[in-house]
Structure 1
Amino acid sequence: MSPVFAHGQLRLYLLVLLAERPMHGYELIQALGTRFGGVYVPSAGTVYPRLGKLQEDGLVTSEADGRKTVYAITEAGRDELAARQDEVADLESGVTDSVRSLADGVRASVGEAMRSLRADLAASARPAAPHRSGPHPAGAPTSTPNEGTRSLREVELLLATFRQEVRAEARRRATRGTLTPEVVAALRRGLDGIRSTLRD
């Protein structure tokens, strides 16, 4: 995946989020995932070093709250945001464009996997060409065209149900900010496994 933020932009966007309210690190990660519709969620190893640098620069403070560390923007941080309003506006616009681009990529990838799966299922359900004479060779398929047609309809129904359920769950995860690239990769691996089973 290409970088979502250019150099220094994630640091600035963390200030944007903290200007809304103080948050601990995991809340910031979730907030970023929500802004990106779940298609991009930064790792802790990406976010925490930047928070540390913001603290070193006096733009945020941190305070222990039980086992969590809560970060809050300082006046100096708000002054920096005010001085960089044009850059913040461009950044917000860039986030919107990135969400569209990432979502298009996910849709294209999942759509291609589904098309390939449907083609493989249809090919596997297609009855073998009938022999002109002689008995079926040992181990040859003996299904009739009607059986093949019924099986194909059943498979298509299963696919339609599966697609609806996956889409609904994906939307729920996107709303909660948990539709991560790892989840999409796991879905892709599962679909690849089904395709491999059919080909075998």
Structure 2
Amino acid sequence: MTPVFAHGSLRLYLLSLLAEQPRHGYELIQALSDRFGGTYIPSAGTIYPRLAKLEDEGLVTKSTDGRKTVYEITDAGREELLAREGDLDAIETEVSDSVRRLADEVRFSVTEAMKSLRADLASAKRQAREDVPAQSSGTAAEPGAAIRLESNRALHEADLVLNEFRQQLRADLRRRAAVARVPAATVPELRRRLDEVRAGILASIGH
């Protein structure tokens, strides 16, 4: 995926978000995700070092609200925003362009995936026709050809389901990591659960 922010732009954009209202780290990540329509979700490793740098520069302060660390812009931060108002306008334009670009990339990926699926299905149909013995009155379909076609269709649909699951779980884990740690036991537990699902699916299809 192509870069979303030019060098130094994210720092100023975070300041502008904090100028709207104090926020904790997850709220900043969520705000950025909302601005990009969910096509860009920055990681905690991207956001928190920049917040720490802004704090070192005296542009933001942080306070504790229960278990959350809330960041708030300082007067010096507002002065920086005012002084760089033209840069911020350019960043807003940059963000709009990035949203369009990311949306185009998503559409292209989906389109290519659908093209591949249609091509594979067409290939499976063609192969099924070639496997059907010629009859004097035309072509009669073998039961085996229909089974192969159905099997290929199910396989590609399974690929789509697995990809959707992977993307959703990855996004869920990143959101969790933004507000709290992801336990080390998550990986072996995930592997165990997936092994169980795999064994169950194979058993259900007779393997």
TM class, shorter-chain normalised?
0.5 to 0.7
Once the two structures are superposed, the pairs formed by residues 102-121 of structure 1 within 5 Å of their partners are: 102-121=102-121
Aligned to 1:128: 129
Once the two structures are superposed, the pairs formed by residues 1-200 of structure 1 within 5 Å of their partners are: 1-126=1-126, 127-129=128-130, 130-131=132-133, 142-143=142-143
Q: Does the 8 Å CA contact 1:38/1:179 hold for their aligned counterparts?
A: no
Query: Deviation of residue 2 (structure 1)?
Result: 2.3
Gaps of 5+ in 2: 136-140, 175-207
In terms of mean alpha carbon deviation, does 121-130 or 74-83 score higher? 121-130
Query: Deviation of residue 144 (structure 1)?
Result: 8.7
TM-score (norm 2): 0.65
Q: Does the 8 Å CA contact 1:18/1:73 hold for their aligned counterparts?
A: yes
Which string of whole-angstrom CA distances, capped at 9 and with x for unpartnered residues, describes residues 120-170 of structure 1?
A: 12322343334459xxxxxxx82399x69x96xxx6xxx8xx9xxx8xxx9
TM-score (norm 1): 0.67
Higher relative contact order (CA 8 A, sep 6+): 1
The verdict on how the C-alpha distance between 1:122 and 1:180 changes in structure 2, with shifts beyond 3 A counting, is: farther
Gaps of 5+ in 1: 134-140, 182-200
Alpha-carbon separation, structure 2, partners of 1:71 and 1:84: 20
**Quick one: which amino acid aligns to residue 41 of structure 1?**
I
**Quick one: which amino acid aligns to residue 99 of structure 1?**
V
**Quick one: which amino acid aligns to residue 87 of structure 1?**
D
**Quick one: which amino acid aligns to residue 80 of structure 1?**
E
Give the fraction of aligned pairs with identical amino acids, expressed as a percent.
Answer: 57
Alpha-carbon separation, structure 1, partners of 2:21 and 2:58: 17
The verdict on how the C-alpha distance between 1:86 and 1:24 changes in structure 2, with shifts beyond 3 A counting, is: same
Q: What is the count of residue pairs matched by the alignment?
A: 156
RMSD: 3.4
**Quick one: which amino acid aligns to residue 5 of structure 2?**
F
Moved over 6 A (4+): 178-181
